[in-house]
Chain A
Amino acid sequence: MDKEKNQNENTQNEITLKFKIIDILYIVMMIAPIVIAITLKVLFTPGGDGVNITGPLIYVRIPFALQDIIITEAQINSWLILITIFGVCLYMTHGLSENPTLKRQHFAEMIVEKAEALINDNMGDYYMSFTPFIMAIMAISAFSSLMSLFGLFPPTSDMNVVAGWSILVFGIITYYKLKCGPLNYMKEFTKPVAVLTPINIISEFATPVSMAFRHYGNVLSGIVVSVLVGSALQGLSRMLLGWAGGFIGSIPLLQVGIPAILSVYFDVFSGLLQAFIFAMLTMLYVSGAFDLDAFMEYKRKKQEKKNKKLKIKQTNLEEN
């Protein structure tokens, strides 16, 4: 009996040990990318003083058709973010059970349920399959913006990254608009008055551009303001302590603490807000692009046409 008990305990311990090892692997998967990004940043960023606002570092440049393929800090950082989010997903869904004992399961369920509630409120039941997409947009945008907390280059402050997302969203919007037939899609442009057609076309293409620039501009402006304030504080502290010269003169007195407050606003608040806004706009544009009633009407008409054709065929056959 004792032996059996021991064996049972052993197997249980083994299971928990295995579980813990996998957990640790996932946590490493979450944290390692950030560490790698910081190392890369430390290794390759040229040091500089004063106002120095640049785009992402270019690591690799490959000549290619149309334009060179360049792999920049933004790309690398967003791939690392993908790995981090993948790790978070795996960690949260590790050890899911019907009778949850782990806190992370409650957290995962909360996230999914909140996202579904958001979709349901803003888009309606028909779009429930959009939930993972909206979750993905929110996650990638928020994580990218929050990267600047670690002093890294936030991929959202590179326009190309955000432009990619907004073009995907634009594609989805157009797909939903085309669902009611290409003719309807064309008609929508002349909707209030025919004269407004060119403006409608412009506004159509303005959607992705405005989405991209809004997000990118907000994050970049945060960085610019941070850098400006930082250099101003540096100058001020030099003015205050510079007369002492030597070691005392180089103490960045005013740079302690104040940039952190700015960082709370520009990095955390603004980053999360922009993520939310981007997701919100996606939801609104997609649900606005597509009128369910009109779609049903279109489908019904199509079906009727088909039925008519079939009938004509049948009558022809009978006549023959």
Chain B
Amino acid sequence: MSHLLEVRHVTKKFGGLTANNDISFNVNENEILSVIGPNGAGKSTLFKMISSFLPTTTGEVLFNGERISNLKPHVVARKGVVRTFQETTIFKSMTVRESIIVAQHLRARASLAGYFWGTKTAHEDVDSFGQYADDLIEFLGMTEIANEQASNLPQGNLRALGIAIGLATDPKVLLLDEPFAGMNHDETMKMVNLVRKVRDDRGVTVLLVEHDMPAVMNISDRIVVLNFGEMIAEGTPVEIQNNEKVIEAYLGSADDEIGI
């Protein structure tokens, strides 16, 4: 297995506060890797740096050997590393289908002027966008809500819509921002299956940042654990469950976090 994504000595400082200190790990092709940690461990900061929504202070992130940190987010998306957001970040007044069509921007072959004048390529693109959207909607089991406006959807569907928008860009790596946050057991299991399906059927490598321990243990091939900005462990779910540093970090930080 080759390293698709490499996080190399990444450090982030906000003034005197070190949010991430010298984090290094690799993501292999076609695996599901989770980054976990107690509140304030620096998960979100790391996530934003990998997707270039924040610059690193030092260190770099490589995708297929190319640096993708400290670029503009759309450039990183173009290379095939696409992030999702938590549920409030959607195109509120678009339907599910419209959102997925817009999100296929990277598949466009005609220029913006081409779409304006309606060239042949543009017409082909528009047809293919619609076709692709329908396929994706079916794949994700969203047929019933395809023409619902996003602002009318319940939370669980919004999360799936976020993943649908990310998938519409045809990414190589999908970065998921807390995909299970605030979900009950059934919803979580549905989402776990969905993320697996995305990896298995679409060959998308998944890196996710998450809180929900049982879900992470269930879904991940490997797990990276952060605590106070430091990376304290890396390994398979079984290894992480038996790692003393991890147990200490969780027991020592907040009682309600004991999910291990």
The answer to whether A and B interact is no
B interface vs A, CB < 8 Å?
none
